Chain A
Amino acid sequence: MRRRPPVLAPIAALGLAGLLAARLAGGAELRVAAAASLGESLPEIAVACATPTGATIVPSFGASSTLARQIVEGAPLDVLLSADEETIDGLERRGLVAPASRVSFASNRLVVVVARDRGTAVAAADDLLSSTVRTIAVAEPHSVPAGVYARRWLERRGLWDRLQAKLVPTDNVRAALSTVASGNADVAIVYRTDARISPRVRVAFEVPEGETPPISYGAAALLASPQPQAARRFLACLTGAEGQAVLARHGFLPPLRPGSAP
């Protein structure tokens, strides 16, 4: 009999080790999916709210629209923090949101950022038409909240159609930010909270409040969650003093629809 080549044994061992590691990592966890713009604040909120919630909070991030899509497909998540209200509306219409769990927990503004060391000269919306601005990174403008806000703003200013050739849509708002930080786009339209996290970009100007739809962050517990009580306690903490303090420290503005805590 011919001996088997010994390559299979290490592969099998690696597979088993991975399985074991995944098993050991389990525990009482509340899985919170959140808009990419919450990338720094949610981990801090997770620490601040762990005790009131009574569970370890495990955040995951992505464009709110992508997360909603995962929820529709049955992803095992307990809570969604979205960068808009429409995404929550959509899940509510599909009957995926736990009744009366919905809250608004923060608001935000759009800014236009440029690379700090490039100094592309833009000071107002019309400057985006200038030939020195060759590429404009925005989150996907038909589904991702930051992109939808950016599109509505440019449409309102009558610039949307004229800027088409310059637009580079990205997966989420943070991808738009990093595209400018890496120098691969001249300008990005992101939230003011995003602009603060990258030392390599600077805010060229803030989009005036009245020129975008209200940028309201909504959250809800998901109906399919096996731990509805922990989910509600987490949302209460998010809209309560602990959560709001973290959000304020990261530059988020207070919720636009206060008093909707569960």
Chain B
Amino acid sequence: MTIAPLATLGFSLWTAALALLLILPPGVLLAWLLARHDFRGRTLVETVVALPLVLPPVATGLVLLQLLGRRGWLGGLLEERLGLPVVFTWRAVVLAMAVMSFPLLVRSARAAFETVPERLEQVARTLGAGEARVLLGVTLPLARHGLVAGALLGFARALGEFGATVMVAGIVPGRTVTLSVGIFQLVQLGQDAAALRLAALSAIAAFATVAAGEWLLRRAAHRR
């Protein structure tokens, strides 16, 4: 079996990007709710959102498999009604990445929102801005550097995802093999040199992502 390094890198990058796009709107919205609003069941929501961060990734993968499998309610729905097979396809890779990155995104985004002084939002309100306008015109722009850093962190987590991914997407060459899964598979096959090449590519991709995040954070701190 051969695993083409560059194609694998490309696959990891686009699936991680898609996972990020998928979680960005709900993640940012939830982070804003948690940072600015008190509501019933808030602690429960916080705990559930943090779960993928603290559960063993394979345990999360198992839950996802129950849900997304052909006999799971979501997987069954997607495959039978919409003709979209999930398990052992790239869709499973994206969903696993999305679930695993979600807590990191929400945590970072929430921290970013909490750095925005509520006083400025109050000022906007006294000037007659509605809640939507306050969010879009004041809070989001002021939090944007932290939000971008959080998104990059989520992206890096998605790139490195392994445990949940192998559970729902398996190791199908050319279809579901990401960098992390490829490294595991090549080591299993005793092809250490090829595994090291993939590991080097992952290191470069992760480094670039984290460096971009740090740079943005520093720029944000500088501005303030």
* A residues in contact (CB < 8 Å) with B: 65-66, 69, 72, 134-135, 140-143, 167-171, 179, 182-185
A142 touches B188 (CB 8 A): no
Complex contact A184–B189 (CB within 8 A): no
B70/A142 in contact, CB under 8 A:
no
Interface, chain B (partner A; CB < 8 A): 1, 65, 69-71, 85, 87-88, 170-173, 185, 187-190
Give the interface centre of B88, B185, B189 by most chain A CB atoms within 10 Å: B88
Q: B69, A184: Cβ atoms under 8 Å?
A: yes
- CB-CB under 8 A for A183 and B173, given A135-B88, A140-B188: no
In the assembled complex, which residues on chain B have CB atoms less than 8 Å from the CB atom of A66? Answer: 188
Chief secondary structure at chain A's binding surface:
loop
B172 touches A168 (CB 8 A): yes
Q: Is the CB of A183 within 8 A of B88?
A: no
A69 contacts B190, CB within 8 Å? yes
**Given A65-B188, A69-B188, A134-B85, residue A142 in contact with residue B69 (CB < 8 A):** no
Name the residue on A nearest B2 (C-beta): A142
Instruction: Tell me if B88 and A184 are in contact (CB < 8 A).
Output: yes
**Contacting residues, chain A, for B88 (C-beta < 8 A):** 135, 168, 184-185
Across the interface, name the chain A residue whose C-beta is closest to B168: A184
Q: Are A143 and B189 in contact (CB under 8 A)?
A: yes
Query: Taking the nearest CB of chain B, how far is it from the CB of A252, in angstroms?
Result: 26
| Contact among B1, B65, B172 for A142, CB-based, below 8 A | B1
Query: Which residues on A sit within 8 Å (CB–CB) of B1?
Result: 140-143
CB distance from B65 to the nearest CB of A (A): 8
Contact B70 A184 (CB under 8 A): yes
**Chain B residues in 8 Å Cβ range of A140:** 1, 171, 185, 188-189
Q: Other than the known A140-B185, A143-B1, what 5 A-B pairs have Cβ atoms closer than 8 Å?
A: A69-B188, A143-B188, A168-B170, A170-B171, A171-B188
CB-CB under 8 A from A185, the residues of chain B are: 88
Main SS at interface, chain B = loop
Which residue of chain B has its CB nearest to the CB of A62? B188
CB within 8 Å for A183 and B69 given contacts A65-B188, A134-B85:
yes
Q: A143-B188, A143-B189 are in contact. Are A182 and B171 (CB under 8 A)?
A: no
Residues of A within 8 A of B188 (CB): 65-66, 69, 140, 143, 171
A169 adjacent to B170 (CB under 8 Å): yes
**Could you write out 15 A-B pairs with CB less than 8 Å apart?**
A65-B189, A69-B187, A69-B190, A140-B171, A140-B185, A141-B1, A142-B1, A142-B189, A143-B189, A168-B88, A169-B172, A182-B65, A183-B69, A184-B70, A185-B88
Which residue on A lies nearest to B174, using beta carbons?
A164
Cβ–Cβ < 8 Å partners of B85 in chain A: 134
Contact yes or no, B171 A169, CB < 8 A: yes
Measured CB to CB, the nearest residue on chain A to B190 is A69
A150 to chain B, nearest CB (A): 14
Contact B87 A184 (CB under 8 A): yes
Residues on B with C-beta less than 8 A from A72 are: 190
Closest A-chain residue to B75, C-beta based? A184
A141 proximity list for chain B (CB < 8 A): 1
CB closest chain-A residue, reference B70: A183
Contacts of A142 in B (CB 8 A): 1, 189
Most chain B CB within a 10 A radius of its CB, from A134, A140, A141, A168:
A168
Give Cα A182 to B67, complex, Å. Answer: 12
For residue B178, give the distance in angstroms from its CB to the closest CB of chain A: 15
Q: Give, as a whole number of angstroms, the nearest-CB distance from A187 to chain B.
A: 13
Min CB distance, B169 to chain A, in Å?
Answer: 10
B70: chain A residues within 8 A (beta carbon): 182-184
